Structure 1
Amino acid sequence: MERRKFIERASLATALTAIYPFGSNVYGANSKHKFNHIYAPHFGMFRHTAGGDLIAQIDFMAEHGFRALEDNGMMGRSIEDQNKIAKALERRDMKMGVFVIDGGDNWKKSLTTGKQEFSDNFLDTCKKAVEVAKRTGAKWMTVVPGFYERNLPIGIQTAHVIEVLKKASDIFEPHGLTMVLEPLSDTPELFLRYSDQTYSICKAVGSPACKILYDAYHMQRNEGDLLANIDKCWSEIAYIQVGDNPGRKEPGTGEINYLNLFKHLYNKDYRGIIGMEHGLSEGGEAGEKKLIQAYLNSDKFN
């Protein structure tokens, strides 16, 4: 390890030791503190402290109590990098979280249209995603059906989406893989926006390979009433992501009570991954320390 990086990490450990003198997850694998949930950072979240190397970032995450990794862009990485990441996760006993099924610009190539070219492109990408999942140990892949099609009634669009997702489920189910549909708040033009809408589609597809990715940030913006809506859709939720609102930064920077949300999930026996799908409210190493602290604070429900 470079001397400068060693000093930087030592300085971070010293600072956190002052805050948690009796031990916490920030000390690494031998810490007395363990997160209740399996939180998954993504690459770049700790780049100022851990450096730019992907494997060094994984090591840093593991040393600080994080037991999973998300990487939306995994399908775009080289096979060599995918294999390196998989080996690092295995060495650190970490899980691989979601990556995005990305076969082009899914925001425009919408499954709602019923057009054969979009369906074929999506299903071909699903087949490629199976190979990526096998290499990386992933079990879940994010799917966004695309834009609302203004020239078609909503029921027809929904039928088109269900039809292609059934075909995709036939690809994933034999491999024990699950695509998770994510309702988003980025623009009103998106077809999939609400938890009950996503629930009904998953029920219609009727496969363990098609479930919900419930991102609390997006759902707070689109519908609110998070705990009640989680309960109503619970049987179809397979994966959780978080980010505070407004701003889409770490827990504690907005209006969502993440202490209560994480406790609620834990009491429902959720032991899956919680993806840290957000940015940082402060830059540099100080922001990365603040990020760790935010999850320590929000995880203190036991």
Structure 2
Amino acid sequence: MANKGCTYEECEATADWLLARTDVRPTVGIVCGSGLGGLADMLKDQVAFDYKDIPNFPQSTVHGHAGRLVFGTLKEKPCVCMQGRFHLYEGYPIQKVTLPVRIFKLLGVETLVLTNAAGGLNQDFKVGDIMIIKDHLNLPGFAGVNPLCGPNDERFGVRFPCMSDAYDRALQQMAMHVGQELGYGDFLKEGVYCVLGGPSFETIAESRMLHRLGADAVGMSTVHEVIVARHCGMRVFAFSLITNQAVMDYGSEAKANHEEVLETGSRRAAQLERLVSAIVTKMELNNNNYARVGRPRDAGVPKKTPPNESMA
């Protein structure tokens, strides 16, 4: 946590700044992947902030990521939603990439819902499938790129957090049930997500290797956020939208591209919104098995100030 802007005190200052400018006290956090920013539009009574106006916050530089933090309610549950996330390939230190997750925890978030666009490695998957993530492969972590590297602040979590239960099984089962009820059975899958550093897409040899290692989908995000969320004691649910098939045949002329990612996200947007909305509606938020980290919500938070030019 040696990176500027990433200490507990700096995260706390950012959380207090946000809490002073909205009455929403979120218990659910949602992170939108490429082309999936429309999920934030589901929130009622919105209060939105541009990333550039939030103290200590990085800025999103990727097309398809709006770069706004949106507070509001979804089926009467208070939420905060990131329209756009941060990635290693943007040049940010990994602690900065995961900074919003720590701020979410200090805002009072108990359950984190993450979405991403991913390439399909599982040959049974089709473009447009939704994959509930049951586990992950952290390839950058094999090389020591982990958001928990450096001094550990016990106020966030323990030095050696368990990751065998990173993805909440009860939420996975509920999502599958909800998906069946919505008629999504034909394109709702589950599998293992593998993260790479990006921004280049995978070579054919890399895709073949990852598939043999047990990965069903591959992308450039999510895993680092999951690690920090679990370090902080949050419940985690995540899913990938399969936006392209990874190329694994040297005879193929297909080429992965970001435009295809955004187009697929746009086509599935309405169904994804219904799925997330139904999941959040059925969530049991006050699970006593997950300890609250940090100070009570509103502790030390100044009285709400009138809207100003910092609000989107």
Same fold (TM over 0.5): no
Comparing both chains, which one has the higher relative contact order based on Cα–Cα distances under 8 Å and sequence gaps of 6 or more? 2
Q: TM-score, normalised by structure 2?
A: 0.29
Q: TM-score, normalised by structure 1?
A: 0.30
Bigger proportion of residues as strand: 2
